[in-house]
Amino acid sequence: MSRLEAKKPSLCKTEPLTSERVRSTLSVLKGIIASCYGPSGRLKQLHNGLGGCVCTTSQSSALLRNLSVTHPILKVLTSSVQNHVCCFSDCGLFTAILCCNLIENIQRIGLTPTTAIKLNKYLLGLSISYLKSEACSCRIPVDFRSTHTFLNLVHSILTSKPACMLTRKEIDHIGALILKAFLLTIPESAEERMVLGKSIIVPLKGQQVTDSTVLPGLLIEASEVQLRRLLPTQKSSTLRVALFCASLSGDFSNAGEGTLVVHYQVSLENAVLEQLLNLGRQLVSDHVDLVLCQKVIHPSLKQFLSEHQIIAIDRVGVTLMEPLSKVTGATPIGSLYPIVSTTYGSVKDVRSARFGSKYFFHLLPNEATICSLLLCSRNDTAWEELKLTCQTAMHVLQLTIKEPWVLLGGGCVETHLAAYIRHKVHNEAEAIVRDDGCSQAELHIATEAFCSALESAAVSLEHDGGEILIDMKYGHFWSCPADSASVGNWPDTLSRCGCGLYNSQEELSWSVLRSTYHPFAPQTCLPQAASGSVSNLTVDSFTAKLSGLQVAVETANLILDLSYVIEDKN
């Protein structure tokens, strides 16, 4: 019996942002994200409530991946942040916080969406052009002759992820490893198009973080028994490699439909095995020294190969196939039919290695930009977080090659930028209004909303009730305990600004960030010393932060522009 159900009409809501429910969920989401921000951010336990594994994290990528939001507005927000994280790895929390702040602020001031969007776009353009200009004093050029800036960048990323549970010593160790892995992925000779290699993270849980290491080449996990059978290779020259992606297990799973009836004297298995052995004979006559197989190799074929001094490594797994092909130069072979000799590749050597409780085959390439980062951590939770962090750090390092700058971190860019915009708008309001066609009052309100959104993103770095100050010379970010916020002893309690570039001993004056300060022109040229001498600078990726700023403003604009939500209820 078939039943026909009438379709439900679609549900249409106007002005979704004005609804109380949307506002409250948005503020819950903002609360979750803002409380994760920065080195002293609070962690979140994510689990399914049914005894599944518990993920403890403060990173946007892990958080948003596991967070299931229902409202379309929240979906727009989370998906655009996720897209940003996909492309740039870093600054996801910043993007989300800034976006939420902008939406909240604009709603409060009651500008019409069109005006607000237009002015936001203008202010975004102003920010971007300032950050990209030579005059910008938050931007430090990357000095490729030293590891200084790179290490600062990596350290800043590592310290901002407290769920990794790293001590200072461990941060130094991991930071150095990440940098080393990054350098190993850069090809020695740069041709016209440089292609960066890949570093593969190999898990080794249960060990101390300081046991982590970086090795050139690839590590293939194996059992102890497999490794004990690995004899030292006799050849001094390179080893010839055959790489199979087809299964060599000797089964015939693709027999097709229907039933196959076979005479008892005919053995299909033996027939397939005979084919495999033929393949083995060809490998022998082609002087192959190493056979790698993504799937399983039949034990008899393995025995045959080892009798002919060919090393066979099977069950390599699909994830290693691409790097293997890159390292060896071999083309993966997908069938058992005679092999063309051009598909073979080569490696310099195969060794056995043992780390902790795990055993590995270590493939040393002739010349390739692939390395393995053997990452150790005491337990699963911290390992997952550390892995994500390392991936972020390596990605961010790669981004610096394209745009060789870093931005000051620790909240200083945000406060400085806000001060710059305030000053600029204050001084040039008439000219701006003339071009844009809105009233001066509107411009000032929108600027205030934009700047305070930036500033509250910086304030989100503070989680223990401290007071945030801004200095009146550089416009940098300073924090102090709430109770010692009396003006007199500021030079003593404030030792360094958020990014660590300036210290409180140089005749500065401060203002509490929450209060309105008189617009001033933050000093725009970067001290020469910045790029060299200060060793513990907190810096952010230039590319990621800039994109985060853009994504945040554009997403906020998109959400502000929404006037209907139409839901299909069927």
Partner 1 sequence: MEMDYRVLNRRRHVGLQQLSSFAQTGRSFLGPVKATKFITDAECHESVLVGSTVRLLEGLDLTCAVGHLLNEAVQAQNVTYKTGASTLLFLVGAWSRAVEDCLHLGVPTTVIVSVMSEGLNSCIEAVVSLQVPIHNVFDHIDNTSTVYKLETVDVSLCPFLQVPSGSGLLEEKHDFKDATSQLLSTYSLSGRRAKSPEFFKPQAKVETENTSQALKNNLYTDSFCRKSALTHSRHFNRTENSHWISRPDGFLEHLRSTPKVLRCNDLGELAVGLSHGDHSSMTLAKAAVRLQWQAVCLQPANCMAPFMFDISRLLTCCLPGLPETFSCVCLGYVTSVTMPSITLIKELQDQPFRVILIEGDLTESYRHLGFNKSVNIRTKSDSGQLSEDSTEELWTNRVLEVLIQFNVNLILVQGSVSEHLTEKCMHSKRLVIGSVNGRVLQAFAEATRAVPVAYVTQVNEDCVGNGVSVTFWTGPHDINRSNREILLTAEGINLITAVLTSPASAQMEMKEDRFWSCVNRLCHALKEEKVFLGGGAVEFLCLSHLQILAEQSLNKGNHACLGWLPDSSSWMASSLSVYRPTVLKCLAGGWHEFLSAIMCNTATYPSAVEASTFIQHHVQSAADSGSPSSYILSEYSELSSGLFHSDISNNLELVPRVYDTVTPKIEAWRRALDLVLLVLQTDSEIITGLVHTQMNSQELDGVLFL
Kindly identify the residues of this chain, within the stretch 531-550, that bind partner 1 according to CB under 8 A: 536, 538
The only residue of 23, 180, 295, 473 in contact with partner 1, by rule CB under 8 A: 295
- The answer to whether 44 contacts partner 1 (rule: CB under 8 A) is yes
In the bound complex, what is the minimum distance in angstroms from residue 50's beta carbon to partner 1? 8
Look at the block and give the residue holding tokens 């909303």: 449
Residue 60 near residue 544 (C-beta atoms within 8 A): no
- The answer to whether 165 contacts partner 1 (rule: CB under 8 A) is yes
Q: CA triplet 219, 222, 228: central angle to 5 degrees? A: 110
Pick between residue 440 and residue 495 the one whose CB is nearest to partner 1. 495
What's the CA gap between 92 and 544, in Å, rounded? 9
- The answer to whether 407 contacts partner 1 (rule: CB under 8 A) is no
- The answer to whether 434 contacts partner 1 (rule: CB under 8 A) is no
End-to-end CA, the chain: 21
What's the CA gap between 15 and 339, in Å, rounded? 65
The only residue of 149, 185, 452, 479 in contact with partner 1, by rule CB under 8 A: 479
- The dihedral over CA atoms of 107, 110, 114, 115, expressed in degrees to the nearest 10, equals -120
Of 550, 510, 562, 468, nearest to 120 by C-alpha is 550
> Which among 140-148, 330-338, 490-498, 518-526 is the span making contact with partner 1, rule CB under 8 A?
490-498
Of 464, 461, 365, 445, nearest to 409 by C-alpha is 461
Pick between residue 303 and residue 341 the one whose CB is nearest to partner 1. 303
Residues in region 124-153 near partner 1 by CB under 8 A: none
> Which among 49-57, 105-113, 136-144, 511-519 is the span making contact with partner 1, rule CB under 8 A?
49-57
Q: For the sheet containing 198-205, what is the strand order? A: 198-205, 370-377, 213-216
The only residue of 125, 141, 187, 299 in contact with partner 1, by rule CB under 8 A: 299
What's the CA gap between 225 and 298, in Å, rounded? 16
- The answer to whether 77 contacts partner 1 (rule: CB under 8 A) is no
The only residue of 263, 402, 434, 569 in contact with partner 1, by rule CB under 8 A: 263
Q: What x/- string results for residues 321 through 360 when contact with partner 1 is judged by CB under 8 A?
A: -----------------------------------xx---
Pick between residue 445 and residue 501 the one whose CB is nearest to partner 1. 501
In the bound complex, what is the minimum distance in angstroms from residue 48's beta carbon to partner 1? 5
In the bound complex, what is the minimum distance in angstroms from residue 249's beta carbon to partner 1? 5
For residue 457, give both structure tokens.
């993103």
> Which among 105-113, 347-355, 448-456, 461-469 is the span making contact with partner 1, rule CB under 8 A?
461-469
For residue 54, give both structure tokens.
């518990």
In the bound complex, what is the minimum distance in angstroms from residue 490's beta carbon to partner 1? 10
Which residues are CB-neighbours of 127 under 8 A, at least 6 positions away?
A: 417, 421, 549
What's the CA gap between 422 and 520, in Å, rounded? 8
In the bound complex, what is the minimum distance in angstroms from residue 96's beta carbon to partner 1? 13
